[in-house]
Each structure stands twice: as structure tokens, then as C-alpha cells.
Amino acid sequence: MSKKQKKVLFRIIISFAALVVCGIVSYIFDGMPSWGQLLMYLVPYLIIGYDILKKAGKGILNRQVFDENFLMAVATIGAVALGEYREGAAVMLFYQIGELFQSIAVGRSRRNIAALMDIRPDCAYIERDGEIAEVDPDEVEVGSEIVVRPGERIPIDGIIYDGKTTLNTAALTGESLPADAKAGDEVHSGSINLTGLIRIKTTKEFGESTASKILELVENSSSKKSKSENFISRFARYYTPAVCGGALALALAGPLVRIMLGMSPAWGSWVMRALTFLVISCPCALVISIPLSFFAGIGGASGKGVLIKGSNYLETMSKTKYVVFDKTGTITQGVFEVTAVHHNARERETLLEYAALAESGSNHPIAKSIIKACKTAPDKARVTELEELAGRGVKAVIDGKTVAVGNDKLMRELGVEYRKCHKSGTIVHISVDGMYEGHIVISDVIKPTSRQAISELKAAGVKRAVMLTGDSVAAAEPIAAEAGMDEVYANLMPADKVEKLEWLIDRKNDGETVAFVGDGINDAPVLSRADVGIAMGALGSDAAIEAADVVLMDDNPLKLALAIRISRKCMRIVYQNIVFAIGVKLICLALGAMGIANMWLAIFADVGVMVLAVLNAIRTLHIK
């Protein structure tokens, strides 16, 4: 509990004690004059309510009259003026109790979010001339060498040049399983070094590092309001003056009608009704709980590695009925692997060894995948007369034999009769001394969780999952089928993807949205065009964070279903609070206008509803 909250609690206790004493004194001295009771009850009233009166006065001076402080001040002062001293003091007391509960609940939700996002490092340790010095992370330049010891948080993005360790990246990705890191690996600020001392050469400034980008994104998310928040802001702007006018009309109309009917005006009774009406009308529950629901939803999502740039995107994502995927790096791992060796006249390992030796001088992804599949490291001394043939493959002399490794074009050029492959993927043919020896199939492998992710999206209410890719139909269709896609469109250029996405958007019904999921780097045009653009596997990628509305910080497509579940539960809580708060207010306002509701029911309609709505709102922190 903060110092401010402790002070309020102390005032509540003192005021409550004073109110009890006043009640006892009134009972003992039953005939106490009215001015004596007034002076006595003013003590607990002013102890607990002086700050509310002060805020109401400032609001009037600043021409911002119609807020909850003004309503509470008018209602309680009016009750005291009518001789309801006990009720006036008690209403102010219970209002402050409700405010304290609300402050504690909001503070707890903010602390939970701060703990989830506690990734900003306090300092960095830089190595200069063999000495380690503590410096402010803002002072560390790109290319500096920093030291991170076990238990410390990595302050700035960089590459390990010495040491190995295990990293906890949960604050960035939401993934609790530690990851190994060694020399040559890229590491990101905000990760915690668990086991070994490592030395890092920084690749970014502190302000451009991953932790800073994430914190900036979450902090700025509150500036992008959802339709629900904008509705509540407009509602409160017109609602409060309207109920003040309604209370005034109630105080005047009732007595005037009674006078016209020849009856006693009963001014006191009707003014009390109007004051009760004012207390009931306070819109605190809506004004506080709705923004808090979105704030907690965004904060809870960020702790699970899902960064949402604003409550407007959270609301849009909750209506997602069509999810469109890029293939490479989204549904598939984006890493090419040797998946088969066909028609090989020699042993499989021998064929792979010939191919790896021939490709040993190349940095092409296909070459790397072949070298990786070979069990023995290529001995370049066995290779002579290496020749790279652009767009076709390579030729080399290995152990005195002429080896050609390449595509159909190379085989036709050499006059080698090759065998076509029935499998999808990149086909690499191999010939030795002009004789066909077989071919290697290299494919992009589907992620192990992709099919489950599509299944969970369907369970969450997504109608169709669609894949757009620049790959061939032969490469795309098997992946789409394995993942459980409803539609697949292949051979698409970036402009074609945008056109196809627009066609899908035109097919949707009103109130439905289309999400596009890509890697955030080469899919920027499509991410921008979608109703909600989602970048996957974007840890450390500035392009992804800039292009997308929602950023999944790791490569797991299951996070997409999690993001949609979070958005939908958050919106359910928002709608629950809107319906509950407005519904209770309207019922109690009607009862107050009819004279059935008293000040105690008014306190429940204001403070009680506000506390319940706030407690409901912070449930969004714990969505799974």
C-alpha cells in the first residue's frame, strides 16, 4: 500500500470512529439542538471529505464542473443542508472507502504489469583495458564490448564473442524454457543470463535495443483508443451534465406539480430525491474500469510475448474471422533441410558427401543445408577445379572425379539423363563422371505446432485459414494440407499478395476482420493492408515491430491463438462492465427518482458497482 493510500485509510478509520462517537452522543443527548448536531457531524464529514470538496472547487474554477467530485460534493452538502447530517457524512465516508478499494486494485494491476515488463536494465558493465566499469546503458556506443555475469540482465542487443550460457527470455517471448547461447549467437536486451559469464559486442544503441522498443510500444499503446473507450469518453461528456439537469428538474418538478394540485410542495423530500439521484449517477465504474480492462489486457498479453500496439488493435483482433498466413518462417521454419535422397546408385552418405564437397565453397542456403546434412565435415583439400554456375549449380573435381551438383538445367546442359522427383521441394541432381547418381530433396520444414495452431484458431471461432506464398504450387500445397489450411494461393509476388488479401477482405461480412500473419520484414505491404497485421518471430526485428499492429515475439504460431483468446476475453470483460454498470445505474436512477432508493442504495450504485467493475477488469491480467 502506498503512502497516499495509507493516509486515506487513516482518515477513513478516524472519520468512522468520529461518526460512531457522534451516533452515541446523539443517542444519549436525544434532545440536542440541530446546530449542535451540525457542528458535531461536520468533524467526521470534513476529515473524510475535505479533499473531495477541494477538488470540486478547483473543477468549478477551471470550468470543468461536471465530474464525480462535483456530484459527491453537491449531494453531501445538500444532505447536510436538509438536516441529514449522519447520511451526508456516511455517504462521503463510503465513497472514500470505494475510492481506496479502486486505488488499490488499479495499483495492483499496474504493479503486475510493471513486474511482467521489468526488462529495462539499470546499468551495463563495459570492459576497457582489462578493467570492468559500471556505466549507464545510454552511454554505451555501438561496437562496445560489455560483460554480463550470471544472474544479470542483458542491457543491450549484441553478439556473444566469448563464453557460453543459458538465457531466460521469458520477459521477451513468454517462453519459460531457457535457451542455450554461445559465441557467435545474437542476444537481445531484457534476457537474463542464467549460468555463465559472457562477453558481448553491442550491435545497437540502448534506445534502439529490443527491451527499449518493447517498453516504448507498451507505454504508447494507451494512446490508441478502441471504439469502446471512445464511446465511454463521449458518454461521460454528455451523461454527467444530463443527470445534473435531471436532478435539478426532479428537485423542482415534483414540488411544482404538487403545488398545482393543491398539495404541500414537500421541498425537502424532493430535494433529497434529487441528491440521491446525483450520487447514483456518478459514472466512475465506466470511466475507470473500461480503460483499465484494455490496459490490463495489453499488459497481460505482453507478459506472454504478445505485443499489442493499442486497444484499438485489441478490439479489432477480437473480431477476427479470417486469418491469412505467409508460408516461409510463419507456417514453416524458414530453414531448408535435406528431407530425402532418391534414386541414388551410391550409398546415401557417399552421395551427400560428394554434394557437400562440391558445395563447400558456397554460402547459398541450399549449399548450407547439404553441408549440414553430411555427417562428416567437408575436406576442401579433396576438391579441385571448383566452378560455380550461376542459376544452375556447381561443378568440381573431387578425388579426381568430375562431380556436377545442380538443377534440371545443369543436367540437360551436361547431357545427363536425370530422374524427375515426385516430392515437393528444391531438387538437387548429382552426376559423377557424366553418370547420373541420384538427387537430393531439400524442403522447408513445417513447424511442429503449426497444425495445432490452426486447430486452436478454428476452435476460437476463426472461419477460414488461408495461405499466401510466392512458392510454387507443388511446394505450397503439401504444406497447406499438412497444416490444415482451408485455402492456398501460390506463385504470388508481393503485389499479388496485397491484391489477394483485398479480395478476401471484400468477401467478409460486416463486423468481421481479416488478420494477416507474416514475418514482418518482406510482408510489410500486406501487414499494413490487413485489418490487423501480425508479425511472427519478430524478436529483435525493428522492421516487424514497425510494420505490424501485433507482434508475436517468438516463432511459435500457437501464440496467435493465444492473442485472439486474450482479445476476446478482454472484450467480453469490457462488455460485461458496460452492461452491468449502465444496467445497475438505470435501475437505481429510476428507484431514486421514484423516492424508493435512499442514500445507502445510492452508495452501492456508485461505489459498489465501481469496485466490482474494477475487480472484474483486472481479471484480464490472468488470461491463458
Catalytic residue annotation: 326
Q: Give me 58's grid cell.
A: 478547483
- Tell me the torsion sign for CA atoms 589, 591, 594, 600: negative
Q: How far is CA 466 from CA 42, 332, 479, 489, in A?
A: 69, 14, 12, 8
Q: How many Å apart are CA 301 and CA 113, to the nearest integer? A: 10
How does DSSP classify residue 154?
P
The grid cell for 564 is: 485472439
Spatial separation of the C-alpha atoms in residues 423 and 250, rounded to whole Å:
81
All three cell numbers of 422: 515426385
- For 611, list phi and psi in degrees, rounded to 5: -65, -45
Q: Answer for the pair 169, 187: CB distance below 8 angstroms, yes or no.
A: no
Question: Which residue is it, cell 542483458?
Answer: 154
Cell 502506498 locates to 2
Spell 30-46 as b/e; 16+ CB within 10 A means b.
eeeeeeebeebbbbbbe
DSSP structural state of residue 142: T
List, as own/partner pairs, every contact residues 140-147 make where C-beta atoms lie below 8 angstroms and the sequence separation is at least 24, other chains included.
140/202, 140/205, 140/206, 141/202, 141/205, 142/202, 142/203, 142/204, 142/205, 143/201, 143/202, 144/201, 144/202, 145/199, 145/200, 145/201, 145/202, 146/199, 146/200, 146/202, 147/197, 147/198, 147/199, 147/200
φ/ψ of 14, rounded to 5, equals -65, -45
Backbone angles phi, psi at 451, to 5 degrees: -65, -40
Take residue 328 and report the three cell numbers written for it. Answer: 516461409
- Residues 465, 442: contact at Cβ < 8 Å? no
The torsion angle over the Cα atoms of residues 504, 506, 508 and 509, rounded to 10 degrees, is 180
Cell of residue 292, nine digits: 483499465
Is residue 210 a contact partner of residue 189, using CB atoms and an 8 Å limit? yes
